[in-house]
Amino acid sequence: MTVDLTVPDVHLHIGGETRTSGSGGVHHHVYPATGEIQGLVPLAGPDDVDAAVRAADAAYPAWRAWRPSERARVLRRLGELMERDADEIARLSVLDNGMTAGMSQPLVGIMAHWTAYYAGWADKVEGRVTSFPANQRELAYSMPEPYGVVGIILTWNGPVVSVGMKLIPALAAGNTVVMKPSELTPYATEHVMRLVREAGIPDGVVNLVLGGPETGDALVRHPLVQKVSFTGGPSTARKILATCAEFLKPAVLELGGKSANIVFPDADLDMAVAVNAFSVLGTLAGQGCAIPSRMLVHSDIYDAVVERVVAMVDGMRCGDPFDPATVISPVVTRQAQDRILAMIERAQADGAKLLAGGRAPSHLPDGFFVEPTVLGDVDPASELGQVEVFGPVLSLIRFESEEQAIEIANSTEYGLASYVYTKDIDRIQRLVTALHAGGVYINGASPVVGCELAFGGVGISGYGREGGEEGLFEFLRTKAVGIA
């Protein structure tokens, strides 16, 4: 199998300029599957961020003045270009963070789908006419309007999905954007920026600066940035919120989860196990925000579920992300690999039973791989039962009753998603109400893929919504107008 491992030159995109260097220095990008340096990534310093924000601010009046139908037209064109170049964007996504080729293709499809969806919203933003009861001669109406410059910080585990969820609705609403991908994942978004220009979006409307925490901080605290949209972890989000508080600046935060999948005895066990195991272990090597990493299993079927899970994991192969037979991709960095393996060791010390995996595969010593790992009889109150792993680790937890399952599912500080497998419609209705999560997904239903449905969390999983009408209105604020 011949694989193209070439990577594009990476730039900072500021106004109409593509800069080959930044004042923040250079990052050596490492391919997670081999541990080898692939290329150099220019990092934006505060001066670069300032230039990008000012370019977005300068472009805002003209972009806002575009007819909404014209914004819709160029966004539709952008979606078509994403579909045209889907194979190349998918290839670059693999080189970005080591995700499997089988995973990268659908993620690019999701980005294009979200782009087409929000292009359709661009010319459908409407206010509301009312009247003041005290004076019927007055005309009063509300007018949704864009914020201006929006700062967008993309997640490294799925930057192309974040483009669809964040960049496109912000543009459809009439904002201009400064977008910061992680320095760990520069390649796919580099190609997206080329398509932004080809689609006919004016210079300065979308700007891109690469970098780590320092770059993000400079973007968040810039006084011309009117709103921030961030996907990442709670610890970084707290720092972002502290900075936003200095300026009373609003933010949208999607911060990961410790999602539970509750499996009852009347469930289709083959489907429940297959979907849960692949979602946790085969989706970006467990580096997904809404994956059901805690599988809560009724004691009557616990042994049967363990047997099925272990048999399925036995066929999951770690290897070359471009090989169609590979299911388990590497994790993003050596540091992530070490952190995950240490967490597996501590879980066993806490009493969890290792049922499968638990090591770095010996035949792949240079890449950042972790074997697909299953731990049984996990204590819901333990570290593994409470803390997001962000790696290919599935926890099995017993429960005896519906009430206990709800208590365990709600016992973490996270609240992004919950999953349920049962054929009892009355139970489904009770759980939908009782589960503390931004979304509840029944019998194989999945979040994120459907751009029509709002997605987001509660608790330390964040706040605000992406997707649907709610996702568009995150990038609009309402102005009241009265005319006497």
Quick: pLDDT tens for 36-57.
Answer: 999 999 999 999 999 999 999 9
CATH number of 12-255+462-483: 3.40.605.10
pLDDT for residue 138: 82
Query: d(Cα 76, Cα 116) in Å, to the nearest integer?
Result: 5
Task: Render pLDDT for 202-229 as a digit per residue (tens, 0 to 9).
Answer: 999 999 999 999 999 999 999 999 999 9
Owner of token pair 């009861």: 133
pLDDT for residue 135: 67
Residue type, 351: G
Q: Would you list the DSSP string of 269-300?
A: HHHHHHHHHIIIIISGGG--SS---EEEEEGG
H runs (alpha helix) in 293-333: 302-313
Query: d(Cα 451, Cα 466) in Å, to the nearest integer?
Result: 8
pLDDT for residue 449: 65
pLDDT for residue 418: 98
Dihedrals phi, psi of 240, to nearest 5 degrees = -65, -45
Alpha-carbon distances, residue 139 vs 67, 129, 145 (angstroms): 25, 8, 19
Residue ranges of the chain assigned to CATH 3.40.309.10:
260-450
| Residue among 286, 272, 261, 271 at smallest CA distance from 417 | 261
| Residue among 252, 228, 169 at smallest CA distance from 465 | 252
Q: Which of 183, 190, 244, 289 is catalytic?
A: 289
Query: d(Cα 92, Cα 189) in Å, to the nearest integer?
Result: 9
CB-based contacts of 228, cutoff 8 Å, min separation 6: 150, 151, 152, 153, 219, 220, 240, 244, 249, 250, 251, 252
Does the active-site annotation cover 289?
yes
CB-based contacts of 169, cutoff 8 Å, min separation 6: 118, 121, 466, 471, 472, 474, 475
Q: What are the tokens at 334? A: 């050596």
Residue type, 419: Y
Q: Which of 254, 388, 466, 474 is catalytic?
A: 254
Residue type, 100: T
**Domain 260-450 indexed as CATH 1.10.287.610:** no
17-19 and 12-14 as β-strands: parallel, antiparallel, unpaired? antiparallel
Owner of token pair 């003209």: 62
176-180 and 462-463 as β-strands: parallel, antiparallel, unpaired? unpaired
Query: d(Cα 318, Cα 104) in Å, to the nearest integer?
Result: 16
pLDDT for residue 136: 72
Q: What parts of the chain have a pLDDT lower than 50? A: none
Greatest CA separation for the chain:
80
pLDDT for residue 1: 65
Tell if the pTM clears 0.75, that is, is over it.
Answer: yes
pLDDT for residue 132: 66
Q: Helix (H, G, I), strand (E, B), or coil: what is residue 107?
A: helix
Residue ranges of the chain assigned to CATH 3.40.605.10:
12-255+462-483
CB-based contacts of 288, cutoff 8 Å, min separation 6: 157, 158, 279
Which element (helix H / strand E) includes 384?
helix 383-386
Residue type, 366: D
Query: d(Cα 6, Cα 190) in Å, to the nearest integer?
Result: 14
Question: DSSP letter at 201?
Answer: P
| Residue among 371, 349, 350, 352 at smallest CA distance from 360 | 371
User: Residues 13, 27: contact at Cβ < 8 Å?
Assistant: no
pLDDT for residue 454: 94
∠133-138-140 over CA atoms, to 5°? Answer: 85
